[in-house]
Amino acid sequence: MCPTPDTQYPMPRRVKCLALFSGGLDSILAVKVVQEQGIEVLGLTFTTPFFGAKKAEEAAETIGLPLLKLDITEEHFAMVKDPRYGYGRNMNPCIDCHTMMIRKAGELLDHYGADFIITGEVLGQRPMSQNKQSLHIVAKNSGFNGRVVRPLSARLLPETAPESEGLIDREKLLDLRGRGRKRQMEMAARYGITSYTSPAGGCLLTDLMFSRRLRELLNHNPDPHPREIELLKTGRHFRIENGVKVIVGKNRRDNAMIADLARDEDVLLKVTEYPGPCALIPHGCAEECLLMAAGICAHYSDAPKDAEVEVRFRKGKETGILRATAAPRSLIDEMMI
């Protein structure tokens, strides 16, 4: 009996890779360059309180890329607090963060039947995290050295196993280097990609103000609840006496978010007779601090700055009224984080 075609001439298995996919232009181009070689690409994106998957989801949909989403909050936050390779300009521990992402992708290779990992990193694009040494450290420390291909700069980097094994054609990979975006723009035009965001856009750890708040929070509480991280994203923040935190909404959206994040143990404050923001004291506070917080709340209301005004407070089911004068500008500046 003749063997079935399948057993006599087995179909070659299609090469497959996992792409670290942020949705930024470089990650899109890396996917495109690899797809052009007939390689199947599965996108992988991560979520933490510092960055979400929205940008990646939108970009993946635009280019028709199947996308996996992985929440790495716990492990990522532990790393953010004490990164082995330190921080970039703000609280962004990019070398450790990339390492973790590549390791996570590596751990999924077998499960998804993928042969290697690709990233959109470009040699020299970021001085600290994307120089030759950092790229090497990231791949090595991830535990998947040799399975990481950077299609946009591969020809400037040592040959990787997928290249030497013939899974991917090195000659068709690129030699992008540096911070210039000209070649990326040309490629985007060629692929018909019209909407994309800047590299690193969307990561709060690269934001100066957020980083300042996060650092201050960690100094007071090395193990904050995820809600406290969420609160860092909204309003104006103050540290008053006894380590008490006060958060004052800047606009309606902030006020709504603060009210939404408030818990029974917190105190919410609001000036009653004049329009103004709401203020939150996470975990409440002693009476003298309450008065100071009411003064801050009054400062940002439309109340006259030199008169006592009524401020309503609420803690769980308990409510009350106190009278406070708007805190002076000098005190506001001193306490603002």
Between residues 51 and 313, which has the closer beta carbon with respect to ligand SF4?
51
In this chain, which of 108, 200, 218, 335 binds ligand SF4, going by CB under 6 A? 200
In terms of C-beta density within 10 A (0-12 exposed, 13-18 middle, 19 or more buried), how is residue 307 classed? exposed
Between residues 26 and 228, which has the closer beta carbon with respect to ligand SF4?
26
Interface segment toward ligand SF4; rule CB under 6 A; list 94-102, 141-149, 207-215, 287-295: 94-102
The token duo for 278 is 């709401």
Question: What SS3 state is found at 116?
Answer: strand
Contacts of 142 (CB under 8 A, 6+ apart): 99, 100, 102, 103, 106, 148
Question: What SS3 state is found at 108?
Answer: helix
Q: Interface with ligand SF4 includes 119 (CB under 6 A)?
A: no
**Nearest-approach distance from CB 200 to ligand SF4, in angstroms:** 4
What distances in angstroms separate CA 90 from CA 46, 209, 280, one per listed residue? 20, 9, 26
Residue 207 has phi, psi (to 5 degrees) of: -90, 130
Q: Interface with ligand SF4 includes 105 (CB under 6 A)?
A: no
In this chain, which of 206, 211, 234, 301 binds ligand SF4, going by CB under 6 A? 206
What is the C-alpha separation between 156 and 122, in angstroms, rounded?
10
Q: Interface with ligand SF4 includes 92 (CB under 6 A)?
A: yes
Interface segment toward ligand SF4; rule CB under 6 A; list 135-143, 203-211, 222-230, 323-331: 203-211
Q: Interface with ligand SF4 includes 85 (CB under 6 A)?
A: no
Q: Interface with ligand SF4 includes 205 (CB under 6 A)?
A: yes
Between residues 119 and 160, which has the closer beta carbon with respect to ligand SF4?
119
Between residues 42 and 205, which has the closer beta carbon with respect to ligand SF4?
205
Q: Interface with ligand SF4 includes 203 (CB under 6 A)?
A: yes
Q: Interface with ligand SF4 includes 97 (CB under 6 A)?
A: yes
Other C-beta atoms within 10 Å of 145: how many? 16
What is the C-alpha separation between 59 and 22, in angstroms, rounded?
9
- Residues near ligand SF4 (CB under 6 A): 51, 92-94, 97-98, 200, 203, 205-206
